[in-house]
Each structure stands twice: as structure tokens, then as C-alpha cells.
Amino acid sequence: MKVCHLTSVHPRHDIRIFLKQCCSLVKAGYDTTLIVADGRGDEKIRGTNIIDIGARGNGRIGRMTKSVYGIYRKALEVDAEIYHFHDPELIPAGLLLRRKGKIVIYDAHEDAPRDIFSKSWIKPSLQETISIFIEHMEKYAGKRFNAIVAATPHINERFLNLGCVAVNINNYPVLDELYISANDRKTKKKDVCYIGLIAKNRGMFEMLKAVEETNVRLILCGTFSNDKDREIALSTAGWKNAVSLGQVSRQQVSQIMSSSMAGMVLYHLDPNHINAQPNKMFEYMSAGIPIIASDFPLWKRIVDEFDCGLCVDPMNSLEIRKAIQWIVEHPDEAEKMGRNGRRCVEERFNWDMEAKKLLALYQRMR
């Protein structure tokens, strides 16, 4: 069976879309295509045919018109039996594909209506109106798609309540991708790491303040959300204790995590964050290092139940600093937390288990 994944926003080698879903489908014998919009050309990698429609349109409006239409046209050329798209802006393309009699799956990575409130480029006076519009759009379209794949139980429950066919497929880590044996972790430095988009509402400034006037380094891997926040970060006192590596390979991510004493996931209390399950939290666990995480009820329940880290008020840099110092001063306890996290990933929070749900869904669509 020919299947086609579509994204106008995510990079071609996106972890959830390419590394997990497309590679799992190829392994199961599906003829798998991924259509992207990045201007880097076509390629075939790990069995997936990647088709590029060219660089995204200028600005967000351009992307949501030119790129979406281009992806729809290319999708028709592929003539797959199942289309699986990953961005809310592709909902119109998904509806058109349904009208053509295609099987269409919408992959909801985020709680899109609530995610609007964390978008700094949208005027606050417009956020509620846009959020309501997206809520209605997802409700209308979701019932017409063959299935919704939800990245968290919270998103899944929302779509089930709307009367949609929904399956929760969590964004848990690939089991052995980031893990390095215990012998290699004996050379740990006084480092803590943060992997992902470097942004104000993901705790960037609180993390920098926390390592200020300490002998601990903050290793940042990822791109800044905007130039303004980057300039402010560079001017902080904590920056002298930070190392910004930019976008790094997955192999480098593994090495950075294994040499760090803890992984940081300190999102602010935004509506879309409270019930989120950040991929990086489970990746830290998979790498066998303790977590320093926001004290949201869902996150705290996971961290406390499995004794795999510490939860703090993400807005309190002093509390974050104390957690970092505790990890540094109690290496044996911290190592035990890391082992606990790794064990629960092996037993529960891993992609192998989620891939089975994805393949079962595709089997039902046949």
C-alpha cells in the first residue's frame, strides 16, 4: 500500500514524522513518501521517498497559501491510498483529498487552539478569536477525516469529545537512539543541558539566571525562537556559563546528554504546555540522565512516580539553581534517578510500543 505524509512546516528529517513514523511504515512494508517544503530537493533515505515542492512562501501568509497548495498538488501526483498530514494549516488540503476519496489522517502534534496563546507573533487582541476559529475548524474537519492521531492523551480526549475517530500515539523516544553505556558516562562534567527551541516561554532566561555565578555550564542545543531574545540572552550575566551549539545531529545530542548531569525542561505555564508531554523530557530519561522539570501536575506525577528527577517552579531561577546544585552535589542519587528514568522508558515510554498502535491504525484503514 502506498502512503504519503505531508508537512509544510516541519523539517524533512523531523523526529516524529520521519525518524519514527515513516521509518516504522517502511519497515512494515509500506511504500512511503514524505512531501516537504524546504527547497533542498528530492531524496530517498532509509526507504522513504522525500519529495520537495520548493522553499516555503515568503512570510506566514505565503507559506499558508503557496506551500499548502503546492503540497496538495504534489500529493495528488503521488496518488497514495493513505495521506497523513502534520500541520493545522494543511487541513484544507486534507479536506480536498477526502473529496477525492482518499483516506486522510490528521496528526495533531499540539493542542492547536491553546497553542495560539503562546505565539508571540500574533497580537494578544487577536489570539482568542483565532483560537476559537481553529477550534471550530478542527471540529468540522476532524469528523470528516478517517482518523486523528493525537500526540498526547489530552489532545486525544479532546478529539474524542468532538466525536472524531482518534488514536493516541505518543511521541516517545526510539529506545536505543540516545543511550550510551554506563561506562561512557563516568566522565560527566558539571554540565546541564537543554535540547530544543530556545525560547522565552521555554525557560531560556530562568535557566541562564540559574547558572549565573556558579561553576555549572548550561549546554544549549537548538535555535533561538527570534533574534531579539537571542540578543537579550547574550547580554545576561549567565551567558558566560552557557555554551550555545546551535542545531546539532542526533549523534551529538546523544553525546551531550550522556556527558551532562541533568536535562532541563522548564516550560512556562502556557495553556498548551500544562498537559503537553515534551519529547525532550522522555529523551533525557531515555539517555539515562535525571530531569529538572516544571512542576506541572502531569509532569510532576511522572517524575515523582518514577523518581527520575526534580520538579521546580519554572519561573523561579533560585529554585532551579538549587535543583542543579543538588544534582551536582549528590552524583550517586542523581545517577540512580537517571537509571530509574531509563528503566521506565524501556518498560513503558518508548516508540516501539507506539509504533504498534500506528501500524494497527493503518491496518484498519486498508
Digitized pLDDT (tens) for each residue of the chain, 366 residues in all? 999 999 999 999 999 999 999 999 999 999 999 999 999 999 999 999 999 998 776 666 666 677 889 999 999 999 999 999 999 999 999 999 999 999 999 999 988 878 787 777 778 888 888 889 888 999 999 999 999 999 999 999 999 999 999 999 999 999 888 887 765 555 678 999 999 999 999 999 999 999 998 999 999 999 998 999 999 999 999 999 999 999 999 899 999 998 999 999 999 998 778 888 889 999 999 999 999 999 999 999 999 999 999 999 999 999 999 999 999 999 999 999 999 999 999 999 999 999 999 999 999 987
Distance, in Å, from the CA atom of 22 to the CA atom of 26, rounded to the nearest integer, reads 6
Tell which residue, 351, 341, 197, 209, has the closest CA to residue 262: 341
Domain residue ranges of the chain, discontinuous segments joined by +: 2-172+351-365, 182-347
The dihedral sign for the CA sequence 14, 195, 279, 148: negative
Tell which residue, 324, 296, 326, 314, has the closest CA to residue 206: 314
Give the model's pLDDT for residue 171.
Answer: 94
Give the model's pLDDT for residue 111.
Answer: 85
Number of H helices, E strands in the chain: 15, 14
Cell numbers that stand for 274 in this block: 500544562
Give the model's pLDDT for residue 118.
Answer: 76
**The CATH number of 2-172+351-365 is which of 3.30.70.270, 3.40.190.10, 1.20.120.850, 3.40.50.2000?**
3.40.50.2000
Sorted by sequence, the CB contacts under 8 Å of residue 22 that are 6+ apart come out as 5, 32, 34, 46, 48
DSSP conformation letters of 241-298: GEEE--S--HHHHHHHHHHSSEEEE---S-TTTTT---HHHHHHHHHT--EEEE--HH
**Residue bearing cell 555565578:** 213
C-alpha distances in Å from residue 60, one per residue of 57, 127, 144, 185: 8, 16, 26, 43
Share of the chain above pLDDT 70, in %: 96
CB-based contact 281:265 (threshold 8 Å): yes
**Residue bearing cell 551549539:** 245
Q: Does residue 56 sit in helix, strand or coil?
A: coil
Distance, in Å, from the CA atom of 354 to the CA atom of 44, rounded to the nearest integer, reads 24
Same fold, 2-172+351-365 and 182-347: yes
Q: Residue 87: what residue type?
A: D
Q: Residue 347: what residue type?
A: E
Q: Residue 292: what residue type?
A: I
Distance, in Å, from the CA atom of 324 to the CA atom of 310, rounded to the nearest integer, reads 9
Length of the chain equals 366
Cβ neighbours around 140 below 10 Å, total: 12
For residue 263, list its beta bridge partners: 193, 291
Give the model's pLDDT for residue 273.
Answer: 85
Q: Are strands 291-294 and 191-195 parallel, antiparallel or unpaired?
A: unpaired
Give the model's pLDDT for residue 215.
Answer: 94
Is domain 182-347 classified as CATH 3.40.50.2000? yes
Cβ neighbours around 234 below 10 Å, total: 12
